[in-house]
Chains A and B, each alone.
Chain A
């Protein structure tokens, strides 16, 4: 199969040091640790890019600052930045993010996934597609797509 890569030569950034949680020695047994930005970021940072063997973190598609979490309101909003403006993979990346969070966050959460403003040619179309429940469900009925998503998610479970 000879297919052109959409972004043949992406810039690869360094991975950020995994911030070790400074676990207090004597944590109170019944203390509550709310879900926070870093935790959500840890869920998605290792997702593989659909066309390169790099993680979304390495390609700076996802950064920790682009994640907004409100544990009280059960709300997460992720803004990701495709590497090139006309990236047709944007929807796949968005789908991966959504599936990963579906599988990792409690069901009470509402997840909102958007493309960073101005980073994609058909921004509003992509946003609409990613946040349409029906279309996401339909996409996950497609075995090819599910295979692709699972492949991208595999490294994030290690």
Chain B
């Protein structure tokens, strides 16, 4: 038979618009009626497929009638059954717009189906078609098939009985579900069949799915289970059979059976209705309890540094489902179930046992589990509804209070003696736990249903009154626990209890506002005084954050005011206080924690924070107080790492973001002179500045940069005159400028660095005033070794002229002009360098050849210039600008040049360390490639709005390789060759592996030479390691291995050399791993190297590091077993 795709193709060509189905039938007449079984079957199937394809083509009733009549008759022809089924289905599924089968015909189909088909004797695909046809009949013609009553139900029972195929089962379950809906009447024909039908269904429960991979069929166990569940719960008539079965399976030891039973029970409960379920209530309750007790596992107290989850029970699906079921049944019939819970013996026993254990550690494991189970049950039943909440509170709360020692009697008397009493007595853990669970559930109930909260308080009078009367005592008890107890569990629940009491929703809270105040005061005293108890401190901070975000979310203005007064103001005052008792990092943690819990608090806090920063800074500026410097660094780090990102994420606070940089500039402007030796402080300031500016909008950035520019231009050291431009005057001034820069004052250095930070962080659209002058300024300062200036330059050229609208923003200078300014400074390169000539796009006059010779009379500035140029190059590379080629050419010239040919050093040959310096110039040129390729944290990244072209690394890699390879081959000087290798290594190790793999064959020899060269110097170990990782990436890839085969002996020589690399353990380990990968190459290739490898490896067995030895054992085995086993033992 033709492939399905061919078949449909054929049909499509066959059925062109001119032919109607009637014509086809006529043409096919012989094939449809022949006595040859095979031809007839094919003919009918072809007609059926044609009809399937023509589902949207309108047909008149007469045609439809005759077609369906034909297929209906054919259902009896079991030898050609497939076609008949497909044809019936195609016709029955037609949309009404294209003409549908009439109900009389449908009835005929159904009758013929029931009469002729023995579904279970058919093959899988035919069965599936049968079930689809049945489903279609039931869904599309309910009124036609319903009158068939018993006959239909019986037929379906027979058809679905003992079906085993998953796909068919999905259909049969659905058929049952639909069938049941056709006969909703409890006394109708269906009632008598319910038992039989359920018997057929029940043998599938619980679903036991053995197909190894569910995805073959697109059906998973869960799908089947869900379909069966829908069938189970489809009619209340199943109740007498289903519930006992489910309860029985619930007691099975198979976890999946338990889980399914619980799920099915939930589903059945909601569909069977309360009356029917009532008689099973006790049995269900016992089963739930049992499932809970047996499924819980040992709890772990997890109070490790990061997670503060408290009492953690293993996440358990059975327990979760059991609790869902419990909630469901309580919701349906609360009186009955609550009385079961309240009168339950087990729970009473647990409660009675509570007083006998004082602390958490005293309770045996079983006791803990029971306690936890009871907690879950009470909590779930409290949460279910207000009435439940009242009932549970009535029956359990007074008892718990009594155990805690807060009995009713104490309420009436005066408070003073009890305060002492409370503090002296330790709270019982069990009771503490249960009452906190109850409180939490009650809080969730009230908070969850806002409608209830709006109604009058009287609806949940009982629980409300109880809580109201006890709130004072509870608060005190919890507070005293925090102070006196040293046990983690007590502390955890104490804090949790207080947090819950403080987070009852505002107007209906049973906890008076004065208690809320007390709680906050207690927490704050812990924060400020008890910071040595780490756990308590952290829990408290977390609770305060929760309370803060809760009242902020619910807009409780009164509480927010109190919170502001007690918590926020106090915590802000912490940073400004000169209080040394509390460690500063803790202060910062507290403040950032509180700040991030709500916008209002953050606004308040950030203001206090900035004030503290500026106060400290002015202390530094004016008095040179270095003690403040440390604190300021902390403050700035916290500001840029925690507060700023939060502000940015949570809404637009443009003015807040703007305020900080502007104020920094104002402050610097007002301080005429200061001197701070701390480099770290400047770094922190720059980071904070960059982040603050980066988050700002374009307008704010314009404002900031204008302000910064004003400060910069007012500084005496930087004569930023408009007239200062490209021409000769600049050279002279530039000369003076650089001379001045030698004794740049501290303040000026700060101004310059911060200005560079602003420039680094601005958006591409932001207008930088007077770009040409700024460019000149940065160029001259970078020659003094000022790296931020270089980064700022890189950032400028990266973002130049790319606005969102595409129009040129900066009117006073274009990118080309800017680049000209940069490249005309000939200090980058040789006097007679062709590369430079090529790169001057506008052909501006080349008369400044000797510009920098006076300045650069030794090599040091050249190194600085190269570093600077590499940042500029990076800016160009990221945006994909052509000029990056010229920049790299300059580096390459540098790498290739011989010492005495360098023009800039022509007149200084007398310098004895000339050669050394020359080498370091070349080294810096090689390192420039690292700067070009690697990702930077400090500038030119997405955070600072750099323009980054996709795949720029790959592109650079593929441009550079054809240039570098011949250069390396031709190079005859050892020094420049090794430097070229360095550049090669930097490029290749930063390129994505995919790109390298494509070129692997050509690159391998150079890569190996490169590894060999880097092997010599301990300083190169990091780059050696990253290069080795590239090699190992190639070796572990399939295509890469093919590329290696030809050079196998070279690779092995290189790797065996690296096995003994003394300077880095990771290199040795990786080299051995590479050798393991090599052992998988074709046998003939590697066999000759076997002895060599084994000898090298046997030395690695005695390596000083364990990881290397382990790899060596593996590698040795891999190589020893490629040939005869008897080695030299």
Q: Interface on A for B, CB 8 Å cutoff?
A: 21, 27, 29-33, 35, 39, 43, 99, 102-108, 136-137, 140-141, 146, 150, 157
B1101 x A21 contact (CB < 8 A) = no
Q: How far is the CA of A110 from the CA of B1064 in the complex (A)?
A: 29
A43 x B1113 contact (CB < 8 A) = yes
Determine which of A33, A107, A150 lies in contact with B1104 in the assembled complex, contact meaning CB atoms within 8 Å: A33
A104 CB contacts on chain B under 8 angstroms:
1101, 1113, 1116
> Which 10 interchain pairs have the tightest Cβ spacing?
A106-B1102, A32-B1104, A106-B1101, A33-B1106, A104-B1113, A157-B1117, A140-B1129, A146-B1125, A33-B1105, A102-B1129
* B631 CB–A CB distance under 8 Å: no
Q: Mask for B1095-1129, Cβ within 8 A of A = 1, else 0?
A: 00010011011100100011011001000011001
User: What are 21 A-B contacts with C-beta separation under 8 Å?
Assistant: A21-B1106, A27-B1065, A29-B1063, A29-B1065, A30-B1062, A31-B1104, A32-B1105, A33-B1104, A33-B1106, A39-B1106, A39-B1109, A102-B1129, A103-B1113, A103-B1117, A104-B1116, A106-B1102, A107-B1102, A140-B1129, A146-B1126, A157-B1113, A157-B1117
B1108's nearest neighbour on chain A, judged by CB, is A33
A29 x B1064 contact (CB < 8 A) = yes
A157 x B1120 contact (CB < 8 A) = no
Residues of B in contact, count (CB < 8 Å) = 19
Q: Would A137 and B1106 be within 8 Å (CB), given that A104-B1101, A106-B1101 are in contact?
A: no
| Minimum CB–CB distance for A114 against chain B, Å | 20
B1117 x A150 contact (CB < 8 A) = no
Q: How far is the CA of A43 from the CA of B1113 in the complex (A)?
A: 9
A-B contact count (CB 8 A): 47
Q: Mask for B887-922, Cβ within 8 A of A = 1, else 0?
A: 000000000000000000000000000000000000
Q: How far is the CA of A150 from the CA of B1114 in the complex (A)?
A: 14
A150 CB contacts on chain B under 8 angstroms:
1125
B1098 x A107 contact (CB < 8 A) = yes
B1098 x A106 contact (CB < 8 A) = yes
Q: Would A105 and B1065 be within 8 Å (CB), given that A140-B1129, A157-B1114 are in contact?
A: no
Q: How far is the CA of A103 from the CA of B1064 in the complex (A)?
A: 25
Q: How far is the CA of A64 from the CA of B1104 in the complex (A)?
A: 22
A102 CB contacts on chain B under 8 angstroms:
1129
A102's nearest neighbour on chain B, judged by CB, is B1129
| Minimum CB–CB distance for A117 against chain B, Å | 28
Q: How far is the CA of A105 from the CA of B1104 in the complex (A)?
A: 12
Q: Would A99 and B1113 be within 8 Å (CB), given that A32-B1104, A33-B1104 are in contact?
A: no
A137 x B1129 contact (CB < 8 A) = yes
B1105 CB contacts on chain A under 8 angstroms:
31-33
Residue picked from A29, A39, A140, most chain B C-beta under 10 Å? A29
Q: How far is the CA of A110 from the CA of B886 in the complex (A)?
A: 64
| Minimum CB–CB distance for B1024 against chain A, Å | 13
Q: How far is the CA of A60 from the CA of B530 in the complex (A)?
A: 52
A35's nearest neighbour on chain B, judged by CB, is B1109
Determine which of A27, A136, A141, A157 lies in contact with B1126 in the assembled complex, contact meaning CB atoms within 8 Å: A141
Q: Would A103 and B1120 be within 8 Å (CB), given that A32-B1104, A33-B1106 are in contact?
A: yes
A31 CB contacts on chain B under 8 angstroms:
1104-1105
A157 CB contacts on chain B under 8 angstroms:
1113-1114, 1117
Q: How far is the CA of A33 from the CA of B1108 in the complex (A)?
A: 11
Q: How far is the CA of A35 from the CA of B1112 in the complex (A)?
A: 14
B1126 x A140 contact (CB < 8 A) = yes
Q: How far is the CA of A137 from the CA of B1098 in the complex (A)?
A: 19
Q: Which residues 765-823 of B have a CB within 8 angstroms of A?
A: none
Q: How far is the CA of A152 from the CA of B157 in the complex (A)?
A: 58
B1125's nearest neighbour on chain A, judged by CB, is A146
B1116 CB contacts on chain A under 8 angstroms:
103-104
A32 CB contacts on chain B under 8 angstroms:
1104-1105
Q: How far is the CA of A48 from the CA of B1065 in the complex (A)?
A: 32
Q: Which residues 1019-1068 of B have a CB within 8 angstroms of A?
A: 1062-1065
Q: How far is the CA of A99 from the CA of B1113 in the complex (A)?
A: 13
B1129 x A99 contact (CB < 8 A) = yes
B1113's nearest neighbour on chain A, judged by CB, is A104
Q: Mask for B1074-1110, Cβ within 8 A of A = 1, else 0?
A: 0000000000000000000000001001101110010
Q: How far is the CA of A71 from the CA of B619 in the complex (A)?
A: 60
- 6 additional contacts (CB under 8 A) given A103-B1116, A104-B1116: A27-B1065, A29-B1064, A106-B1101, A106-B1102, A136-B1129, A140-B1126
Q: How far is the CA of A107 from the CA of B1098 in the complex (A)?
A: 8
A107's nearest neighbour on chain B, judged by CB, is B1098
A141 CB contacts on chain B under 8 angstroms:
1126
B1117 CB contacts on chain A under 8 angstroms:
103, 157
| Minimum CB–CB distance for A56 against chain B, Å | 17
Q: How far is the CA of A104 from the CA of B1109 in the complex (A)?
A: 8
Q: How far is the CA of A33 from the CA of B1103 in the complex (A)?
A: 9
Q: How far is the CA of A35 from the CA of B1126 in the complex (A)?
A: 26
B1064's nearest neighbour on chain A, judged by CB, is A29
Q: How far is the CA of A104 from the CA of B1098 in the complex (A)?
A: 9
Q: How far is the CA of A150 from the CA of B1116 in the complex (A)?
A: 14
Q: How far is the CA of A141 from the CA of B1104 in the complex (A)?
A: 33
A100's nearest neighbour on chain B, judged by CB, is B1113
A99 CB contacts on chain B under 8 angstroms:
1129
Q: How far is the CA of A123 from the CA of B1090 in the complex (A)?
A: 40
| Minimum CB–CB distance for B743 against chain A, Å | 41
Q: Mask for B483-494, Cβ within 8 A of A = 1, else 0?
A: 000000000000
A140 CB contacts on chain B under 8 angstroms:
1126, 1129
A39's nearest neighbour on chain B, judged by CB, is B1106
A105 x B1101 contact (CB < 8 A) = yes
Q: Which residues 697-746 of B have a CB within 8 angstroms of A?
A: none
A150's nearest neighbour on chain B, judged by CB, is B1125
A142's nearest neighbour on chain B, judged by CB, is B1126
B1100's nearest neighbour on chain A, judged by CB, is A106
| Minimum CB–CB distance for A110 against chain B, Å | 14
| Minimum CB–CB distance for A142 against chain B, Å | 10
A74's nearest neighbour on chain B, judged by CB, is B1102
B1106 CB contacts on chain A under 8 angstroms:
21, 33, 35, 39
A99's nearest neighbour on chain B, judged by CB, is B1129
Q: How far is the CA of A140 from the CA of B1126 in the complex (A)?
A: 7
Q: How far is the CA of A106 from the CA of B695 in the complex (A)?
A: 59
B1101's nearest neighbour on chain A, judged by CB, is A106
A146 CB contacts on chain B under 8 angstroms:
1125-1126
A137 CB contacts on chain B under 8 angstroms:
1129
| Minimum CB–CB distance for B970 against chain A, Å | 37
B1109 CB contacts on chain A under 8 angstroms:
35, 39
| Minimum CB–CB distance for B640 against chain A, Å | 26
Q: How far is the CA of A157 from the CA of B1101 in the complex (A)?
A: 15
B1062 CB contacts on chain A under 8 angstroms:
30
Q: How far is the CA of A121 from the CA of B1117 in the complex (A)?
A: 34
Q: How far is the CA of A103 from the CA of B1129 in the complex (A)?
A: 9
Q: How far is the CA of A99 from the CA of B1129 in the complex (A)?
A: 8
A104's nearest neighbour on chain B, judged by CB, is B1113
A108 x B1102 contact (CB < 8 A) = yes
B1098's nearest neighbour on chain A, judged by CB, is A107
B1065 CB contacts on chain A under 8 angstroms:
27, 29
A30 CB contacts on chain B under 8 angstroms:
1062, 1104
A106 CB contacts on chain B under 8 angstroms:
1098, 1101-1102
Q: How far is the CA of A105 from the CA of B1117 in the complex (A)?
A: 12
Q: How far is the CA of A33 from the CA of B1068 in the complex (A)?
A: 15
Residue picked from B1062, B1063, B1113, B1114, most chain A C-beta under 10 Å? B1113
Q: How far is the CA of A146 from the CA of B1098 in the complex (A)?
A: 21
Residue picked from B1104, B1114, B1129, most chain A C-beta under 10 Å? B1129
Q: How far is the CA of A108 from the CA of B1065 in the complex (A)?
A: 22
A103's nearest neighbour on chain B, judged by CB, is B1116
B1126 CB contacts on chain A under 8 angstroms:
140-141, 146
Q: Mask for B570-584, Cβ within 8 A of A = 1, else 0?
A: 000000000000000
A39 CB contacts on chain B under 8 angstroms:
1106, 1109
| Minimum CB–CB distance for A25 against chain B, Å | 14
Q: How far is the CA of A136 from the CA of B1102 in the complex (A)?
A: 23
